[in-house]
Chain A
Amino acid sequence: MAYSVLILDDDVDFNSLLTDIFEQADYIVTSLTDPTEALEVFRNTDYDLVVTDHKMPDMSGAEFMELIKHIKPEVPVIMVSGFMENDTIRSLISGGVGGVFLKPLNIFSMLDRTVELIDEAKRLKQNTQSYDVALNEGAAVEVEARGFPFGSFPCKSQSSIDFAERLYNLRNFKSTLSLIGEPGTQFRLICEDIRNFYENEKEHFIYLSSGSFDAEQVLSMVEKAKLFKAERVTCVLLGVESMTGAQKRLATVLSKCVGVFESIDIPLRTIFCANGDLDALYDEGRIDEDLYILMGTAEVCVPALRDCVLDIAVLAQQMVVDIIREKGMSTVSRFEASARDFLSKQPWDNNYEQLRLTVRQVMESNPGEVLMLSAVTSALQSAMLASPRARFEARLSRARVDYVRATSILLGGDKAKVAAFFGTDTTVVGATLK
Chain B
Amino acid sequence: MQQHKALILRSNRFLGSYLVNKGLLSSADLDSANEKFMQAIRSPELLKNASILTTLLYDLKMLDEARLLDHIVEEYGIGLIDLNQVQLGSLPSTELDLSLCWASSTIPFDKVEETYMVATCYYLSEPVVRHWEGLLNGKVVWYGTSMASMSRGLERLEDVLAAEKAVAEGDL
Note all chain A residues with C-beta closer than 8 A to B27: 170, 173-176, 297-298
Note all chain B residues with C-beta closer than 8 A to A174: 27-28, 31
What are the interface flags for A288-310 relative to B under an 8 Å C-beta threshold, 1 for contact and 0 otherwise?
A: 01101110111100000000000
Instruction: Assess the B28–A175 pair: CB atoms within 8 A.
Output: yes
Chain B residues within 8 Å of A, Cβ to Cβ: 6, 9-10, 12-14, 16-17, 20, 27-28, 30-31, 34, 37-38, 41
Instruction: Assess the A293–B20 pair: CB atoms within 8 A.
Output: no
Least Cβ distance of A288 to chain B in Å?
10
Q: How many inter-chain residue pairs (CB < 8 Å) link A and B?
A: 46
Residue of B nearest to A177 (CB): B27
Instruction: Assess the A299–B17 pair: CB atoms within 8 A.
Output: yes
A279 at the interface (CB under 8 A from B): yes
Question: Which 7 pairs, one residue from A and one from B, show the smallest C-beta to C-beta distance?
Answer: A296-B13, A174-B28, A298-B27, A297-B30, A296-B17, A293-B34, A173-B27
What are the interface flags for A13-35 relative to B under an 8 Å C-beta threshold, 1 for contact and 0 otherwise?
A: 00000000000000000000000
Instruction: Assess the B9–A289 pair: CB atoms within 8 A.
Output: yes
**A298 contact from B10, B20, B41, Cβ within 8 A:** B20
| Cα of A294 to Cα of B16 in the assembled complex, Å | 11
11 A-B residue contacts at CB 8 Å?
A174-B28, A278-B13, A283-B6, A293-B9, A293-B12, A293-B34, A293-B38, A297-B16, A297-B17, A297-B20, A298-B27
Least Cβ distance of A173 to chain B in Å?
5
Residue of A nearest to B10 (CB): A279
Instruction: Assess the B28–A292 pair: CB atoms within 8 A.
Output: no
Note all chain B residues with C-beta closer than 8 A to A292: 9, 13
Known A-B contacts A174-B27, A174-B28, A298-B27; the reply to A293 vs B17 at CB < 8 A is no
| Cα of A289 to Cα of B40 in the assembled complex, Å | 13
Number of interface residues of A (CB under 8 A): 19
Contacting residues of chain A (166-183) with chain B, CB-CB under 8 angstroms? 170, 173-176
Least Cβ distance of A101 to chain B in Å?
52
What are the interface flags for A172-210 relative to B under an 8 Å C-beta threshold, 1 for contact and 0 otherwise?
A: 011110000000000000000000000000000000000
| Cα of A299 to Cα of B30 in the assembled complex, Å | 12
Note all chain A residues with C-beta closer than 8 A to B14: 296
Q: Apart from A289-B41, A298-B30, A412-B6, what are 16 other A-B pairs with CB-CB below 8 Å?
A: A174-B27, A174-B28, A174-B31, A282-B9, A289-B38, A292-B13, A293-B12, A293-B34, A293-B37, A294-B34, A296-B14, A296-B16, A297-B16, A297-B27, A298-B20, A299-B17
Least Cβ distance of A194 to chain B in Å?
14
Residue of B nearest to A178 (CB): B17
Instruction: Assess the A176–B31 pair: CB atoms within 8 A.
Output: yes
| Cα of A296 to Cα of B20 in the assembled complex, Å | 10
Instruction: Assess the B38–A290 pair: CB atoms within 8 A.
Output: yes
Note all chain B residues with C-beta closer than 8 A to A175: 27-28, 31
Note all chain B residues with C-beta closer than 8 A to A294: 34
Note all chain A residues with C-beta closer than 8 A to B28: 174-175
